[in-house]
Amino acid sequence: MPVDFSGTWNLVSNDNFEGYMVALGIDFATRKLAKVLKPQKVIKQDGDMVSIHTTSTFRDYMLQFKIGEEFEEDNKGLDNRKCKSLVTWDNDKLVCVQTGEKKNRGWTHWLEGDDLHLELRCENQVCRQVFKRA
């Protein structure tokens, strides 16, 4: 476990979330609601087991996985597409590859100073989110 992301984190910036949602095919009305959200993440890391609970006033998303073990992800309440996801360490970054209908889909979490960073990728779009400890 190179890094421990455990804690409660609040979104402070969200660059190109719109482009990422368009790439995922999210409809206009949902995008309008989603882009004003300030989601919170609660991350629990216990060895190779990780849970990431993203909550907001509109929708919640719960992800639990074992690092290095591929699993089926349903993206329920997001774009609802199923994919095969695999999370691995790349040095101190936690990298998820989401294999499915959408090309180049995945995300990366890392720490920078006191901040938690999240890069969300889909096709040719990259969304960059920054969180601070609650």
User: How many CB atoms neighbour CB 99 within 10 A?
Assistant: 14
Per CB under 6 A, does 30 bind ligand 1AG?
Answer: yes
Per CB under 6 A, does 10 bind ligand 1AG?
Answer: no
User: Residue 127 CA to chain centroid, in angstroms?
Assistant: 10
**Residue 90: phi, psi to the nearest 5?**
-120, 95
- Tokens at 62, concatenated: 């719960």
Q: Which of 5, 9, 11, 79 binds ligand 1AG (CB under 6 A)?
A: 79
CB-nearer residue toward ligand 1AG: 59 or 128? 59
Q: Which of 23, 107, 116, 121 binds ligand 1AG (CB under 6 A)?
A: 107
- Tokens at 28, concatenated: 């206009």
Contacts of 132 (CB under 8 A, 6+ apart): 9, 10, 12, 114, 115, 116
Q: Which of 9, 11, 23, 63 binds ligand 1AG (CB under 6 A)?
A: 63
Distance of closest approach, residue 28 Cβ to ligand 1AG, in angstroms: 12
Per CB under 6 A, does 59 bind ligand 1AG?
Answer: yes
Closest by CA position to 55, among listed 101, 17, 10: 10
Q: Which residues bind ligand 1AG (CB under 6 A)?
A: 21, 24, 26, 30, 34, 37, 39, 41, 52, 54, 56, 58-61, 63, 78-79, 107, 118
